[in-house]
Amino acid sequence: MQPLLYSELVPWYSLVDPPEDHEDEAVCFQSAFEHIISPRPQTLLELGAGAGNTALHLKRRFTCTLTDLSPGMQQLSREQNPDCEHVLGDMRTLRLGRTFDAVLVHDAICYMLTEEDLLAAARTAFEHTRPGGAAIFAPDTLRETFQDTTETLEEDRGGRSMRGLMWTWDPHPEDSTYQVDFAFLLRDGDTVQAVHDRHVEGLFTRDTWDRVLTQAGFRVEPLKRPLGDGAFDDIFLCRR
């Protein structure tokens, strides 16, 4: 079952994750692809593109094909990226029968809960990356850097308002998953509803990532991603 944010709460998604918040990351991804891929990259496949918030910025530079498992999220992406190709599919099993200069797997990779699922997604990315091309995998966190966090959410948009709490925590540090619990108050006119939405996400060590991506066929190196306020974390830049 998909989390509510990608099903029943899709109409509220833009309040939780505004597209403008993705610009700095998109600049980082574009720069890395342009630096590492020769000849100059033109085409990009995003696996797990969600609402298309990252693609909104990347499509200025690349011809983008956007895939996702959620029909509701893909509809949001179609609305803001009507000029991009969209394909409904699971990143573990998708096969388009063609390759791209660049492949991006953003935070949707966090829904791979086992090494087997992670390897399946990595193999999908490899199969769709042309020789000489590259892929970027951008998980939210690694086992070594994971910390329990609490974040407040507040947004008003299009006559609707959202106030929320995002609690990231790990109830079982011995396994390969963690949880993100959202508590939302959603106001539409005079009506306010309270919603709890739980996301279970994968949590792997840096060594596991390196091993799985190498097993899929990539040559792996770290990439610094901007987090805001001068902070960075390490994600994975993979050459084919």
CATH classification at residue 39: 3.40.50.150
**In a shared domain, residues 220 and 197:** no
Between CA 234 and CA 78 the distance in angstroms is 30
pLDDT digits (tens, 9 = 90+) for 38-62: 999 999 999 999 999 999 999 999 9
- As a whole number, the mean pLDDT across the chain is 96
**In a shared domain, residues 98 and 128:** yes
Q: Count Cβ atoms within 10 A of the Cβ of residue 204 and give its class: 0-12 exposed, 13-18 middle, 19 or more buried.
A: buried
What stretches of the chain show up as alpha helix (H) in DSSP? 13-16, 23-36, 55-58, 71-80, 115-127, 206-216
pLDDT at 1: 78
**In a shared domain, residues 41 and 102:** yes
**In a shared domain, residues 117 and 72:** yes
pLDDT digits (tens, 9 = 90+) for 63-74: 999 999 999 999
Categorize the per-residue pLDDT at 232 as very low, low, confident or very high, splitting at 50, 70 and 90: confident
Distances (CA, A) of 230 to 24, 144, 216, 219, 225: 12, 20, 33, 28, 10
Identify the DSSP state of 203. -
**In a shared domain, residues 234 and 191:** no
Strand, coil or helix: what is 156?
strand
**In a shared domain, residues 138 and 159:** no
Between CA 154 and CA 163 the distance in angstroms is 5
Between CA 69 and CA 64 the distance in angstroms is 17
Q: What is the mean pLDDT of residues 139-166?
A: 95
H or E element, residue 224: strand 219-228
**In a shared domain, residues 161 and 217:** no
Between CA 239 and CA 129 the distance in angstroms is 9
Amino acid making up residue 191: T
Q: Residue 190 maps to which CATH number?
A: 2.20.25.110
**In a shared domain, residues 12 and 59:** yes
**In a shared domain, residues 100 and 163:** no
C-alpha Rg value of the chain to the nearest Å:
18
The count of structural domains within the chain is 2
Q: Which residue has the tokens 């990351």?
A: 25
**In a shared domain, residues 115 and 54:** yes
pLDDT at 145: 93
Q: Which residue has the tokens 């590492």?
A: 36
Domain that includes residue 198, residue range: 149-202
**In a shared domain, residues 158 and 63:** no
* Whether the predicted pLDDT of 153 surpasses 90: yes
Categorize the per-residue pLDDT at 35 as very low, low, confident or very high, splitting at 50, 70 and 90: very high
pLDDT at 231: 84
**In a shared domain, residues 126 and 154:** no
pLDDT digits (tens, 9 = 90+) for 77-130: 999 999 999 999 999 999 999 999 999 999 999 999 999 999 999 999 999 999
Distances (CA, A) of 64 to 44, 49, 56, 165, 189: 5, 10, 10, 33, 37
pLDDT digits (tens, 9 = 90+) for 208-220: 999 999 999 999 9
Categorize the per-residue pLDDT at 227 as very low, low, confident or very high, splitting at 50, 70 and 90: confident
Q: What is the mean pLDDT of residues 10-15?
A: 95
